[in-house]
Amino acid sequence: MNNAEQTYTQPLGLDVGTSRIVVARADDKKYRYDWQLNAFLTLPYSKLAESLLDRENVFHQVQGSELVVTGNDAQRFAEVFHVETRRPMKNGVLNPDEPHSMAVVRSIIARLIGPATVPKQRVFFSVPAPGDNGEGGLAYHTASIRQVLDELGYEATPIEEGLTVVFGELGSSNFSGIGISCGSGLCNVCLAVLSVPVISYSIPKAGDYIDTQSALVTGDRATRLRVQKEQSFHLNGFSADRVQNALNVYYRDMMSSLADSLQNHIVTSQKLPRIDQSIPLVLGGGSVLPPGFVDNFADVMRAHELPLRLSEIRVSADPLNSTARGALMAALC
């Protein structure tokens, strides 16, 4: 942590995402973000290897007979050794199949925010909404992240990820509208009225789904497809490139599933308030970054009839940080 972070005493917003962990701070009415990839890889332990990692200031820890390279450095090492990084989280929660999951997430959070600078410093941290198949380990995940933050001296409050988009993006509409966060593990959806969540849920078709399914049909590695998706993919129809075609197919599948679920949840809701005015729909998260996403999603939504009117469909001006920013805004309220 630098000196500014060590003296920062205001609330924090923390996005604990499947792909990235992001902290947001308010600094002179501006927002400042720090992040690390939520990923790791392991190397056999030796004193020489540990000393080399220390000398190069590589983010790592020793776990028994292994060196666990973590965060942004994990991606760099994965490219060197041509291997996949491992994820401590899956589908928005701690991965039960990864023995290092809790230790990795703890180390990333501690590196990003450090100990609280004042007693009970506030932090709001993102959690996924339940899916249609139940809570899926959500209670354990939430309690575990809260424990990490408690140990660092914070007063920690969970906030569902879709609601963070509402707080971060819908101030001009009195925090009324639909916030959707399309991340790696899940798409989280929240319909809120005056900041009160009315409908909140998640679906498992998101960025990782697109990567893994595209990798299956192209024979490529999911990590390589993720990088290509983030750097050069355009959602603009089919071409002679089979990777582009695969990404197009599964992106459209994700958008169709998202629109179907939104229509179904709103139509079948027993507690939908009367909303006379039209409301905005705003999307955040890394999976909405490809050019052409919002136009294609708007086309998909036009084919679905909702019992409410949408004033606009738009993407956040800063999709990668929208969850952390919304969590910070909630913490500052």
Q: Please give the average pLDDT of every successive group of 10 residues along the chain, which has 333 residues.
A: 72 97 91 96 93 93 93 88 87 94 97 96 97 87 98 98 98 96 97 96 95 92 77 80 91 97 93 89 96 95 92 96 97 93
Q: Interior CA angle at 153 toward 149 and 158, to 5°?
A: 35
The pair of structure tokens assigned to 187 is 């798409």
Considering only CA atoms, which of 128, 122, 157 is closest in space to residue 141? Answer: 128
Cα–Cα distances in angstroms (integers) from residue 2 to residues 34, 287, 299, in the given order? 12, 31, 46
Number of neighbouring beta carbons within 10 Å of residue 47: 7
CA gap 69, 226 in Å, rounded: 20
Do 254 and 209 form a contact (C-beta atoms < 8 A)? yes
CA gap 113, 108 in Å, rounded: 9
The amino acid present at 152, given as its one-letter code, is L
CA gap 329, 333 in Å, rounded: 6
Burial code of 222-231, b = ≥16 C-beta within 10 A, e = fewer? bbbbbebbee
Residue 151 has what pLDDT?
97
Burial code of 120-141, b = ≥16 C-beta within 10 A, e = fewer? ebbbbbbbbbebeeeebbbeeb
Do 126 and 164 form a contact (C-beta atoms < 8 A)? yes
Burial code of 173-210, b = ≥16 C-beta within 10 A, e = fewer? bebbbbbbbbbbbbbbbbbbbeeebbbbbbbbbbbbbb
Q: Is the dihedral of CA 267, 268, 272, 274 positive or negative?
A: positive
Residue 4 has what pLDDT?
56
Do 67 and 42 form a contact (C-beta atoms < 8 A)? yes
Backbone phi, then psi, for 186, in 5-degree steps? Answer: -145, 160
Could you tell me if residue 285 is left (phi over 0), alpha (psi between -120 and 50 degrees) or otherwise beta? left
Length of the chain: 333
Domains of the chain, earliest start first: 1-38+87-333 (3.30.420.40)
Residue 5 has what pLDDT?
63
Considering only CA atoms, which of 150, 92, 84, 162 is closest in space to residue 116? Answer: 150
The pair of structure tokens assigned to 71 is 């965060």
Considering only CA atoms, which of 37, 12, 26 is closest in space to residue 115? Answer: 12
Residue 222 has what pLDDT?
79
Residue 260 has what pLDDT?
97
